[in-house]
Structure 1
């Protein structure tokens, strides 16, 4: 994705002067989000960009399809579809990502099949770190404990 967008950016001045467009080519991170997004989550200009990506490269079309499928697997907690997705992803540029999931497959399966979440714990850890950062170098553990317990 990054290489393809970079090619667009290199050719952007010529394309901009020819088309007189005010729309800028998105960053690599934004483009990655756009291809994973559902069509109702992005505007028409961004939909046209994604359509151009898909028609521009058959291998990129396959990757985009896999990214969207993975998003559906995660959001729908469809652990039974994970093995097929991993096999298909290993044949594309997503192979490194698929290998990382494979290394931690029991945890990934648990995340997709169990209803439990660590989100509340992560929120508390984030809050604690924020309070700690605010107090950096100013006080010891006793004051940190009072601030954390006082806000709870």
Structure 2
């Protein structure tokens, strides 16, 4: 064993062999990827996955039909977002509500609640990201100055940090 690169004492080997003989040894656990790792494999383009990552994702998909369906829906949604195909959103929501795992159904229901806004974002070239960034900055300043300064000073800081 040492010639193969294993560095363990004889006593450790003896204990393991004794456990194997009595049937008390724990089985070797499979190398199960973390949910975060599986999610990263699903969300990346297939071309960017290494061969081993593609094989591992295929093993996970074969082991769990729910992950397979969620993977297909997640990739379809990512395609909608990347290529701004808002006209396909309603069909995606129908598919997700029909036979997706429960978390995906919840997400589809959430999108349906604000369908016009989501469709607009996936169709139109404009974004409210800059405005949202300024709102976040103002709220952060307001929280930092709460109870410490007057409105005049808050107004000055907001206007000078634009």
| TM-score normalised according to structure 1 size | 0.71
Q: Pick the aligned partner of 1:92 from 80, 85, 100.
A: 100
Aligned to 1:73: 80
Distance, in Å, in 2 between the alignment partners of 1:35 and 1:141 is: 49
- Cα distance between partner residues in 2 of 1:134 and 1:44: 49
Partner residue in 1 for 2:140: 130
Deviations 1:4-61 (A, max 9, x none): xxxxxxxxx9427xx6xxxx843x4554344223246666665554333212123321
3-state SS of paired residue (2:29): helix
Alignment of 1:56-67 (within 5 A): 56-67=63-74
Structure 2: distance between partners of 1:38 and 1:117: 24
Structure whose alpha-carbon radius of gyration is higher: 2
Q: Report the Cα offset of residue 89 of structure 1.
A: 0.9
Equivalence for 1:35: 42
Q: Unpaired runs of 5+ in structure 2?
A: 1-26
Gaps of at least 5 residues in structure 1 are: 1-12
| Equivalence for 1:115 | 125
* Alignment match, 1:104: 114
**What is the aligned residue count?**
133
* Alpha-carbon distance in 2 for matches of 1:102, 1:71: 17
Distance 1:56 1:136, change over 3 A: same
How many angstroms apart in 1 are the aligned matches of 2:45 and 2:38?
A: 13
* Bigger mean CA deviation after superposition, 44-53 or 96-105: 44-53
Q: Distance in 2 between matches of 1:126 and 1:46?
A: 38
**How far apart are 1:108 and its partner, in Å?**
1.5
The SS at the match of 1:15 is coil
Distance 1:141 1:44 in 2: 59
1:90-121 CA-to-partner distances (Å, cap 9, x unmatched) read 11112221122122211221111112110010
1:15 maps to 29
Matched, 1:141 2:144: no
SS at match of 1:61: helix
Q: Does 1:52 align with 2:59?
A: yes
